[in-house]
Structure 1
Amino acid sequence: MPEAARSDLIPFDYAARDAAGGRKKGRITARDDTDAAKRLRAEGLYPIEIRAARPASVAKEKPRRVSGQMSARQRAAFVSRLAKLTGSQISLDRALAIMADGDDGAIAGRAGALRVHMREGGGFADGLQQHLGLDDAATQALVRGAEISGDMADALATAAGILEQRLMLTRRIMTGLLYPSLLLVVAIISVGLIMIAIIPQFRPLVEDRMDAIPVLGRAIFAISATLTAIWPILVGGMLIGGFALWILHRRGRAVPILQTFSARLPVISGVIVRNQVMIVLYILAAMLRREVTLSEALRVVTNTAPGGRVRAAVDQVSSEVETGQPLSSSLRAANIMPSAAVEMIRIGEETGDLPGMIGRAAAEMRETADRELERFLALFQPALIVIVGLLVGVSLYALFSAIVSVNAISF
C-alpha cells in the first residue's frame, strides 16, 4: 500500500526554510506533527510552522449532534475505550473514527467532534476539555505530556485507571448509603404521619387535662401541633430541595456536594478521607511512572485532590518537598495516612523505587479502606434501624401513656 494511502497518515500544511535560507510552503502526510517535523528534516528542511490540513473530505464530515454534558461514567468509558484502541497499535485518528461509528450516541458523537477538532489543527488535550468537559488536572497533564513524548496509549491507559478509581470510590460510598438513605426517608415519612395524622385525633381527649399528662406526653403533643401547623412548608421545602438536587445532578455537581457534606460527618469522615488519600497516592504513582518530576506531580495532585483536609495536606506536602524535604517526612507531618504507608514510601525513596512503593501503599490503603467501609455499613444499617424503631416506639409510648393518664384521672 502506498504510504500516502495509509489510513493512519493525515495531511499537514507546513512552512519551512531550506539550507540556503529560502522559505518554502507545502503539504506533507505524517502520523502527527512530530512525525511531520522529522520527515521535513529528513528532506533538508527546517520547519517553521506545521498545522494539520483540512482536506475536502473533512469539510463534508459532520459529527453527530450531541446535547447535554457527559457524566463521569461516560467520560471514564470514553477514555478507557480510546486507551484500548490506541494500545492495539491503532492511530489516534483511526481510533476516534471507530468510536464515532459506534452505537453509543453520547460517546460516538463526542468522538466524531473530537476527530474533526484534531483534523482542523486543534490539540487533543484541548479537545478533551472542549468536547468532553474533561478538565481533570491529572488527565490533562498526562495527555499533554504524551503529546510531546508520543506515548499516548500508555497515557490514556493511566488516565482511564485514575478515572475508574474515582468512580469506584463514589460507587462504593453511594451504593453503601443507598439502603440506609431509603430507610431514613421511610422513617421520616412514618414518624411524620404519626405526628400529623394520628396524634392530633387524640388531642381533644386530653385538651382540658394537659397538666395531668406526663412530660413526655406533653412534648409529643407539642411537637405534633407544631408539625401540623408547618407541614406544608416542610413538604414544599423538601420538594424544592429535591428539584435543586436533581438540577445539580444533571450538571454534574451533585456528587461533589454530597461528598463534601459526607466528609464533614464525624462518623464517616475518616472512611472518606482514607479513600481520598488512596486515590491521591494512586495518581501520584501514575504520574511518577510517566517520568514526571515529583514537584510537578505533587502540583497536579494538589489540583486534583478534593477540597478540604486532603487538599490542604497535599498542598502542605508539595510546599515542603519543593524546599528539599523528603516526601515521606512531609507525609508523616501531614498526618493523613497510616504510618505503615509512610514507611513504604520511605523505603521507596531509599531504594529508588518511589513510584512502585507509592503504588503498593495505595493498594494496601485501598484494601484497608474497603474493610473500613464494609465495617461501617455493617454497623450503620442496624444502628439506623434501632434509632428508627426507638423514634416510633417513643412516640407511641408517649401517646398511650397520656391517654392512660387521662383515663386514670377520670376514674
Structure 2
Amino acid sequence: MSVFAYMALDAGGKILKGTMEAEASGDVLTHLDRVGCTPISVKAQAGAPKQTRTLRDWLTPDPRPEDITGLTLDLAMLLKGGVALDEALVILAQMEGRSWLSRVLRDLHAALSNGRSLSQAIGQHPKLFPPIYVKMVEVAETSGRLEEALSGLAVERQRGERLRKRFVSAIAYPSFLVVAAVAVLFFILIYLIPKFEVALQGFRDKIDPSALIVFEMSGFLNRNLDLVVLTLAGLLGAVVLLNRLGRERGLWLALFARLPFTRAVLANELTVTFCRTLAILVRNRVDISTALRLIRGVVRLPGAGPEIDRVIADVRQGQRLSETLFRGKLFPRHVVQMIRVGEESGDLADSASRVAVFYEAKLDAALGRVIAVVGPAVMVLVSILIAWLIISVMTALMSINDLLV
C-alpha cells in the first residue's frame, strides 16, 4: 500500500490535514466522503517509506475484525482504569504477540506522539477501522467520552460478529455436506466400482443402462485421473479467488439475494444493520446526514445503496427521515412508523435500537430455519445419490447372477 497526504474540510468548515495508507487515491477520497469530509487534495507522498513484509508476515494473516474488537475492549478497559491513551497503546503493543497488530498499535502511538488525535491516527488504517469507527471516536474525543464510546463500539461489534458467525454457519454446514458427498462419490467411483467391473467382464451388453452409466463414469475418472485432479485444484483456486472477490464486491450477497430461502434473511439483516448503526451514531451525537452517509458505506445489499442515496438527498433538503423512508421500499411500514415515533418524541436512537433488537431476534430465527431446512435437504440428496450408485451396482450383479443360474 502507498501513503497519501490529504487535505479536506470537515462538517464545521475546519481544514484537516493528514496521511493515510491506501491502495489508490480513490480509496482515500471514498473514505473522506464517508466520514463526512469534503476532499480538497489527495497526493501520494514522494519517497514515503514502504513497509516490507518478511516471509513470516506473508504467512501471517492481517488482523481480523475480531482482533480489532478485542483491541477496542482492552483499550476501553485501560482508559477506564485511569491509564493515559498513549500509555495504553504502549502497554497493548508490548502485550500483543501478533506482529501486524503490534505494528498497528505502534503506528497509532507514533501518530499520537506527533500531535494527532486518535481519530486521525486510526483514519490512516481504513481497512482495519471503518469510517463509522473513526467518526464515533472523533465525536467522543470532542465530548470527552472516549472510553464510553469505545466500550459501546466493542459491544456492537461483538453483536455484529455473532450474527456474522451465525450466518456463516448457516452456509458452512450445507457446504461441508456437499464436499463430503463429492468425496464419497469419487471414492466409490475410483476405488470400489472397478473391483465390481472385473466380475462383470463379458456381460456389459446385458447390464442395466443405469448401472452401465455408473461403470462408464468410473472408467472415465480412472482413465483421466490426472486431469480430474488438476481440474479440482483449479476449481479450488477459483473458489478461493471468488470468495475474496465476493467479500469485497458483494458478489455473494448478490447471489444470496436471488435465492428464495435467503431473501428474508438478508432483508432482516439490512434492517438490523441500518437501525443498529443509526442508533449508535445518533446516540453519540452524529447528525442524521452524516450518519446516513456512514450507513451507506456499511450496507452492501444489492439495491439498497441507491435507495439510501435517495434518502440522503431528501434529508439534506430538509425532509424527515421517516417521510423519505415511507416513500421507498427499503423497510416494512411498521419499521418506518417506529422511526417516526422516535423522531416525534426526540428519542430516535432508542426507537431505532428497539427495532434492531426485534429484527435481530427475527434474523436469528430465520437463520435457524435455513439451517434446519437446507442441512437435511442436502443430506437427503447425498443419500439418494449414494443409494443410486449402490443399487445400480447391486442390480447389475444380481442380473448377472440370474443369467449364470
Confirm or deny a common fold (TM above 0.5).
yes
Q: Distance in 2 between matches of 1:255 and 1:185?
A: 25
- Matching of residue 73 in structure 1 with residue 57 in structure 2: no
Q: How does 1:295-306 map to 2 (within 5 A)?
A: 295-306=289-300
Counterpart amino acid of residue 362 in structure 1:
A
Which of 99, 114, 121 is the equivalent residue of 2:115? 121
- Matching of residue 345 in structure 1 with residue 339 in structure 2: yes
Q: Distance in 2 between matches of 1:241 and 1:195?
A: 20
Q: Distance in 2 between matches of 1:196 and 1:396?
A: 14
Q: How does 1:165-244 map to 2 (within 5 A)?
A: 165-203=159-197, 210=204, 212-240=206-234, 242=236
Indicate the residue corresponding to 1:277 in structure 2: 271
CA contact (8 A) 2:170 2:371 kept: yes
Which of 155, 159, 175 is the equivalent residue of 2:153? 159
Q: Distance in 1 between matches of 2:257 and 2:372?
A: 19
Q: Distance in 2 between matches of 1:174 and 1:289?
A: 30
Q: Deviations over 1:202-254 (max 9, x none)?
A: 34555765554444333333433444444433433444554676789999969
Indicate the residue corresponding to 1:288 in structure 2: 282
Q: Distance in 2 between matches of 1:187 and 1:371?
A: 28
CA RMSD of aligned residues (A): 3.6
Q: Distance in 2 between matches of 1:229 and 1:368?
A: 52
Indicate the residue corresponding to 1:51 in structure 2: none
Report how far residue 312 of structure 1 moved: 4.3
Higher relative contact order, chain-length normalized (CA < 8 Å, sep 6+): 2
CA contact (8 A) 1:249 1:255 kept: no
Q: Distance in 2 between matches of 1:232 and 1:309?
A: 44
Q: Distance in 2 between matches of 1:313 and 1:255?
A: 18
Which of 83, 92, 95 is the equivalent residue of 1:102? 95
Counterpart amino acid of residue 144 in structure 1:
E
Change (3 A) 1:237 1:91: farther
| 5+ residue gaps, structure 1 | 1-64
CA contact (8 A) 1:110 1:132 kept: no
Equivalent pairs, count:
347
Report how far residue 366 of structure 1 moved: 0.5
Bigger Rg over Cα: 1
Q: Distance in 1 between matches of 2:252 and 2:379?
A: 22
Q: Secondary structure at the match of 2:95?
A: coil
Change (3 A) 1:288 1:382: same
Q: Deviations over 1:340-399 (max 9, x none)?
A: 333322322332222110111001110111111122222332222222111111111122
Q: Deviations over 1:141-198 (max 9, x none)?
A: 2223334444333332343234323322222123444444333322211111112222
Q: Distance in 1 between matches of 2:69 and 2:246?
A: 14
Indicate the residue corresponding to 1:20 in structure 2: none
Counterpart amino acid of residue 70 in structure 2:
A
Q: Give the share of equivalent positions with the same residue, in percent.
A: 27
CA contact (8 A) 1:113 1:131 kept: no
Q: Distance in 2 between matches of 1:236 and 1:73?
A: 35
Indicate the residue corresponding to 2:395 in structure 1: 401
Q: Distance in 2 between matches of 1:92 and 1:248?
A: 40
Change (3 A) 1:230 1:135: farther
TM-score by length of 2: 0.72
